Structure 1
């Protein structure tokens, strides 16, 4: 059996041109625990229950605060370029869970006010006993 010749320099360009139903995107790294909240129905259900609770308990919008965090992993690879069908909007790839993180936290209030300024949280080198006790 003869050994096949390796692909030419232009084989991918020719293949790509022959498949217009595909496109190239960069994957988005995401932790395993964050994949399920990406489901549209899960998010819709949550907001419907949230609205019902606000109405039922007559919660004032001045008392509703939202804190959000964005984590940045140190030494975590960025997304890879992949080829996918045109109808797929985003593609996530699992990222390692054991990397050091830098976290930024911001908060808003349902009445439009900013309750506290944004914060940056990084790993500490020295921990003070008084941080964890009443002393």
Structure 2
């Protein structure tokens, strides 16, 4: 048995139809006054005046409770799909951060933020999106044992390059590498006779980790690396004239000597963009990176 629609739905649709006829009659000068048109088409005069001012029916109007506008939600949807195409589908927290970033662009003090369940509700009302668990997979296994995955990645890179007409010299790859200060290397040593094989060399127990962020273009030009030390404050001795290091290498600090969200963003804004802008040959630059958490932020993307 088909569902029974209540009378209010029929009444609302019927009234909306009569309101449209009344507006058309007024615009075509078939009826001279709003009061007369409301009487002829049996619609409330106040509602007819409201419709003529461009106010739409409440049932078809987007609720005021939505934090983002329709265009903002569409932009967010396109960004999520773009991230998914790149093989780094964003987590709920990252989607929430991007939504808050969109809200922060408005001139409101304090800026609005979305709620704890906003992402879940947003996905439910967006047919093109879905939420599912990602599959954990070892990176090296995917790299060396799955040719299809490798080919898909190269196809994606080729598609991006061809679609945007990116010049070879405007393609950059960057990554970070770490090393322990004071790490012993293999070397020839002098020891007493009677030992066979290689002598063990004791590693110092207080090694500190240092990270370098490096980038190079497909044309072979390399950016100066950014060096990240483990420290809470900058050491004046690092910048002494007696220290022999290239002064175009920016120095950052973090609690553990690793990169952070803030450092990654500063590398992009204060290092990569200024150094590559004058060298750009086309309209777009392509920056290829891995899925490290420091770069998978709303601000970096």
The TM-score with structure 1 as length reference comes to: 0.41
Name which one, 1 or 2, has greater alpha-carbon Rg: 2
More helix by share: 2
Normalized per residue, the structure richer in strand is 1
TM (norm. structure 2) is: 0.21
Higher RCO (CA < 8 A, seq sep 6+): 1
